[in-house]
A and B are shown apart, each in its own frame.
Chain A
Amino acid sequence: MNAAALQLYCIVAFLALAALSVAAAFRPRASAGLYIANAVVAATAFAFSFAALFKGGDPALVHLPIGIPWLGAHFRIDALSSFFLSVINFGAATASLFAVGYGRREPEPSRILPFYPAFLAGMNLVLIADDAFTFLVSWEFMSLTSFALVIAHHHERENRRAAFVYLTMACFGTLSLLFVFGLLAGADGGYVFNDIRSRDLGAGLGGAVMLLALLGAGSKAGLAPVHVWLPLAHPAAPSHVSALMSGVMTKVAVYAFIRIAFDLVGISDWSIAAPVMLIGGATAVLGILHALMERDIKRLLAYSTIENIGVIFAMLGFAMAFQANGMAVQAALAFVAALFHVANHSIFKGLLFFGAGSMLNATGVRDIEQMGGLIHRMRKLAPLFLVGCVAISALPPLNGFASEWLAFQAVLQSPDLPQLGLKILSPMVGALLALAAALAAACFVRLYGVAFLGRPRSDHAIEAHDPDGWSLGVIGLMAALCVIFGIVPGIVLDALAPVATLMLGTPLAVQSGNDWLSVIPVNATQSSYNPLLLFFFIALSSFLAASVSRLTASHDYRRSPAWACGFEPAGAQTQYSGASFSQPIRNTLGRIAFRAAETVDMPPPGDQQPARFTLRLRDLVWDAIYGRIASVINAISDKLNALQFLTIRRYLSLVFATLVLMLLGLAAWS
C-alpha cells in the first residue's frame, strides 16, 4: 500500500475518533482513553511519514472519487509532505500524551474532545492534498476545527474576542489562498497540482501569486502585520491545543507557502525574495519585543512563535534569492536552515507550552508576575523547562542554536548575489535576526527568572507542585530531543536532503561522513561547527572546575539570609518583576516599537496620596491597520443601519432596482 493511502487511513482513524468522542465525551474518565487513542493514531501516522521520508522514491498518489464530480480528491505524498507530516504528527502524538494527564482537569471535556482529532485530521489533510479544491477544503476544515478549540472556554470574554478575531483572519487568509489558486489554475481550471506545475505563469502573475500566498499562508503562520490573531487565539485554547497551534499549525502554513512558492510556481524571480526576507526579519524582532513586554505566559510563548516564524520566513527568503540566481548550494543551505528551524521550533515550543500548561495547572494563574520560586516547588519540571528556554534562546550547544548558526552561514553567502538591493538587504536581515536572537535570550531569562527563580510572588505560587507523570514524561522526551538535535544536527540535516533535492534540485552536502560528526555546510575552510565536541568540552571543563574546587577549595558552606548589600530582604514584592526586567529594553527599543510612555505621578511632600506609575504601550500595527479598518466598517454599518427599518414597498423597489442593475450589467458584459 502506498504512503498516501496509509496516511489517509490515519486521517479516517482521526475522524472516527472525533465521532466516537462526541458519544464518549460525556462519560467521566473517557478523556484519558481518547487521548491515548489519539496519541496512538498520531504516532502511527508519524511512523508512516517518517518511513516515507527515509525511503524516498517517487511520490505516492491516491485519487478518490469524492468532492467535485469531475475533479475528485487527489492526494499525494512527496518528501516535502512527509517531512511536514513527521513534524506535525510528532507534535500531535506528544500533545495527546501530555493531554492524558492534563486533560483530566478540563472542566468541559466535551467541548474539546471531538474537535481535537478533527483538528489533527485537518492538518494532515492539508499536507497531503494534491489539488486546489481539496487543499482549500482541508485548510478551512483545519481553521474551523481550531476555531472550535479556541472558543471552547467561551465563558471568558477575552476568549470570545480572540475567537472572533481568529475567525476573521482565517477567512481573510483563506480568501487570499482562494485567489492564489484561482490565478494558478487559470481560466480553464486545471485544479490538480500537476497541471498547475506545468503551467507557465509569467513574471507578473507569478509575483502576484507569491504575494497573495505570502499573505494567505503568512496570516496563518503569524507573519507581521497579519499576526494579530495569533497572540490572542493560541493562549485561549487549552495548553495542549496551544502547543499544537503554536508549534505545529503554524508549520502547516509554512508548508503551504513552500508548496506554492517553491513547487507550484517555482522560483525564477529574485524580486519576490526581498519582501519575504524583510518581512521575516521584521516579524522576528517585532514578535520577540512583544514577548518581552508580555506577562501572560501563554501569550508570551505565542509572541515568541511569531519571532520563530519570522526567522523561518527570512531563511526561506534567502533560499528564494539564491535559487533565483542559480546559486543552488547556497539556496539549499538557507532552505535546510529554515526546515531545521521548523523541526526545532516545533519541539521546544511544544515543550514550553506543555510546561506553561503544567504551571497554569499548578498555580491557577497565567500571569508570571504571580509565580516565582517555582524551582523549589516544581522540582522536576524546572530543569526541563530550562532546557527549553536555553534551546529557544539560540544558545549552544542546544538545537535552537544549530539552526540559527546555519541561518547565519546562509546570510554570509549573500555577497555573491548579483542584485545590489539584495546585497544591501542581506546584512540588514542578518542584523535583525541577531537582534531577535539576543532579545529572545533576554525574554527567556525574564520568563524563567520571574516564574521559576526568586521567591514566590503570590500565594498561588506557594501551592505549586510538579505535574503528573505523563506530562513530565513527554516534556522530558522533548527536552532530550532538544539536546540530541543540538549536539548531532548532522543526522537531521541529512534527513532533510530529499526535501531540498525535491524543491531546489540540490541537497546540502552530506553531513554524516564528516569527522567527529561536525557540521560543514559549504566547505571546511569556510566554516564548521561541532556541537558534540563543544558539549563534551563544556561538560569536561565544568567537571574539571567542579572537581578542582572540590579537591582544593573549602567545602564549608552556610545558608544565611540574602545579603542584598546589607538591606533586610523585604517582602516578595520588592523583587525585580517582569515589568521592571524589561524596562531598559522598553525604554529603548520599546519607545520605537510601541511608543512606550511612562508617567510617574508623584504627590507633593506631605500629601497622603500614593505615588502612581502608569505605563502606556501601543500596538502600532493594530492601531494603524486593524483599528482603522474596524472603524471604517463600523461607520459604514452605522450608515447602512437605516436600511433595516424600511417599509415593504421600499424593500420591493430596492430588490427590483438591484435586479435591473444586474441585468444591465450582464447585458453590458456579453
Chain B
Amino acid sequence: MVLAERFLFQGFQMLLVLALAPLLTGIVRKLKARLTRRRGASIFQPYRDLFRLMRKEAVIADNASWIFRSAPYLIFAATWVAAALTPTFRTGLMFSWSADLIVIVALLGSARFFLALAGMDVGTAFGGIGSSREMMIAAFAEPAMLLAVFTVALVAGSTELSNVAAFMRSDAVGLRVSLALAMFALIMVAIAENARIPVDNPATHLELTMVHEAMVLEYSGRHLAMIEFASFLKLLLYVSLIGAVFVPWGLAEDGAGAMRNALGVLLYLGKLIAAACLLALFETATAKMRVFRVPDYLGAALMLGFLGALLLFAGGRF
C-alpha cells in the first residue's frame, strides 16, 4: 500500500513537473514584459509554442547526423529524470534514492554534453561558438555547484535530496553562514546554467552574444520543441532544488495525508511564482555582461561555494 502510494506520487511528480515547467517560463516572460511596460504574451504562451512546434515540419540541415536528431530526446529525457527526482511538493518519493544531488548535477552535465555536440554537428560557426561558450561556462559553474552541494550535504549529513530537505525543515539547522554562502553560489550558478541575464539572454537574437540560442540555432519543429521543453524543465528543476534545500517549508513528509499533499502542491506553486517574480525583477534590473566577464562572475560563485565548504570543513559549526 505504501509502495503503491509512493509509486503514485512519483508518477504524479513526473507529470507535475511537465505540466508546470512551461507555465513557470510563461510567468517569467509575462512579468518581464510588464516590468518593461509591455503587455506581453499570455502566461500560457509557452504551451502554445510547444504545440505549434510539434505540429510543424522539422527542417534538418543536409549535413546533420543521427546525433542531431537523437540529441533532443536524450536532453529532454535526462532533464526530465533529474527534475522528477528533485523534491517538489513532498519528500520521500519512490525513487529519490536512486540519484543524489551529485548525480542530478551530473545528469544536467550529460544533457549539456549532448546539446554541445548537437551544436557542433551541422558544422556552422554559430553552433560551435555556442558549444564552446557553454562548455566554458560549465567548466566554472560545475565546480561551484559541487562545492555548494558539498556544503549542503555536510550540513545535512546526506547528499540525498529527500533527506537534505527533511533535515533543512527540522530545527537542527539554525542560521548558518555556510548555508547562506552556498545559497548565493547556487543561485548564481542557476542563473548561469539557465542562460539567464546577466550571463546569457534567453530572448536574444544577436548572434555574437548568444550562447544557448546559438547551439540550437539549427533546430526546428519537434526537435526544437524537445529542447525548449528541456530548458523549461531545467529552470523548474533549479527552482525546486533551491526551494527544497533552502525554503523547505510546506514540503509534505512521506506518509502524510492527502490534504497535506495538496497543501504541499499549493505551496510549491507559490514558491514557483515567488521565484518567477524574483527572477523577472533581477533580469530586468541587470544588464547582460560580456562573455569574457562570465568567468569572473562564476569565479565569484566558486569562491562563495568554496568559502562555505571551507567553513564547514574547518569549523563545523558555522
Q: Which A residues fall within an 8 A CB radius of B?
A: 372-373, 375-376, 382, 386, 390, 393-396, 401, 404-405, 408-409, 411-412, 414-415, 420, 423-424, 426-428, 430-431, 434-435, 437-439, 441-442, 445-446, 448-450, 453-455, 516, 518, 524-530, 533-534, 537-542, 544-546, 549, 552-554, 556-565, 567, 569, 572, 574-577, 580-585, 587-589
Contacts and interface: CB of A to CB of B under 8 A. Distances in A.
Interface of B: 54-63, 65-67, 73-74, 76-78, 80-81, 84, 95, 97-100, 102-103, 106-107, 109-110, 112-113, 116-117, 119-129, 131-133, 135-136, 138-143, 146-147, 150, 153-154, 157-160, 163, 207, 217-218, 221-222, 225-226, 291-292, 295, 302, 305-306, 309-310, 312-314, 316
A211 B202 CA distance: 52
Nearest to B106: A396
Contacts of A525: 157-158, 160, 163
A382 B121 CA distance: 13
Nearest to B76: A545
A437 B58 contact: no
Nearest to B115: A445
Contact of B123 (A373, A439, A544): A373
Contact of B132 (A534, A544, A576): A576
Nearest to A564: B124
Contacts of A542: 73-74, 76-77
A91 B293 CA distance: 45
A438 B116 CA distance: 13
A386 B225 CA distance: 25
A563 B218 CA distance: 6
Contact of B80 (A386, A434, A541, A556): A541
Contacts of B125: 564, 574-576
A556 B56 CA distance: 8
B160 A534 contact: no
15 contacts: A382-B65, A405-B103, A415-B313, A423-B313, A442-B139, A445-B116, A454-B121, A524-B97, A527-B100, A529-B100, A538-B81, A539-B77, A552-B54, A559-B61, A580-B129
**Max chain B CB contacts within 10 Å: which of A420, A424, A449?**
A449
Contacts of B142: 434-435, 437-438
Given A527-B158, A565-B207, A580 B132 contact: yes
A576 B117 CA distance: 12
Contacts of B138: 438, 441-442
Contacts of B121: 375, 449, 453-454
Contacts of A431: 143, 146-147, 302, 305-306, 309
Given A455-B63, A541-B81, 18 more contacts: A373-B123, A393-B109, A395-B110, A401-B106, A409-B159, A412-B153, A424-B314, A430-B150, A434-B146, A448-B117, A453-B123, A525-B160, A528-B97, A530-B98, A562-B62, A562-B122, A576-B125, A576-B129
Given A563-B217, A563-B218, A558 B57 contact: yes
Contact of B128 (A394, A557, A581): A581
A100 to B, nearest CB: 29
A441 B58 contact: no
A438 B112 CA distance: 11
B113 A390 contact: yes
A525 to B, nearest CB: 6
Given A441-B138, A449-B120, A453-B120, A557 B221 contact: yes
Contacts of B292: 584, 587-588
B59 A557 contact: yes
9 nearest A-B residue pairs (beta carbon): A576-B128, A454-B123, A449-B120, A556-B57, A542-B77, A584-B136, A530-B98, A442-B135, A438-B142
A435 B139 contact: yes
B314 A441 contact: no
B15 to A, nearest CB: 11
Given A437-B142, A530-B99, A546-B73, A561 B62 contact: yes
Contacts of A564: 122, 124-126, 217-218
B313 A441 contact: no
Contacts of A562: 61-63, 122-124, 218
Contacts of B153: 412, 527
A569 B291 contact: no
B132 A438 contact: no
Nearest to B121: A453
Contacts of B218: 562-564
A541 B77 contact: yes
A559 B60 contact: yes
B65 A453 contact: yes
A528 B143 CA distance: 21
B58 A529 contact: no
A449 B116 contact: yes
Given A373-B63, A445-B135, A575-B128, A553 B103 contact: no
A527 B159 CA distance: 5
A554 B117 contact: no
**Max chain A CB contacts within 10 Å: which of B78, B123, B129, B310?**
B123
A220 B116 CA distance: 35
Given A375-B67, A453-B120, A454-B123, A414 B313 contact: yes
Contact of A581 (B102, B106, B132, B141): B132
Given A434-B147, A530-B99, A559 B154 contact: no
A578 to B, nearest CB: 10
A116 B220 CA distance: 52
B89 to A, nearest CB: 20
A526 B129 contact: no
Given A375-B67, A445-B135, A575 B109 contact: no
Nearest to B78: A538
Nearest to B96: A528
A283 B302 CA distance: 20
A171 to B, nearest CB: 37
Given A390-B113, A545-B77, A434 B95 contact: no
A372 B57 contact: no
B65 A534 contact: no
A411 B150 contact: yes
A412 B63 contact: no
**Max chain A CB contacts within 10 Å: which of B67, B106, B154, B291?**
B106
A441 B100 contact: no
B160 A538 contact: no
A302 B177 CA distance: 42
Nearest to A584: B136
A589 B135 CA distance: 13
Contact of B157 (A524, A526, A583): A526
Nearest to A561: B62
A395 B123 CA distance: 24
A588 B136 CA distance: 9
Nearest to B314: A423
Contacts of A394: 106
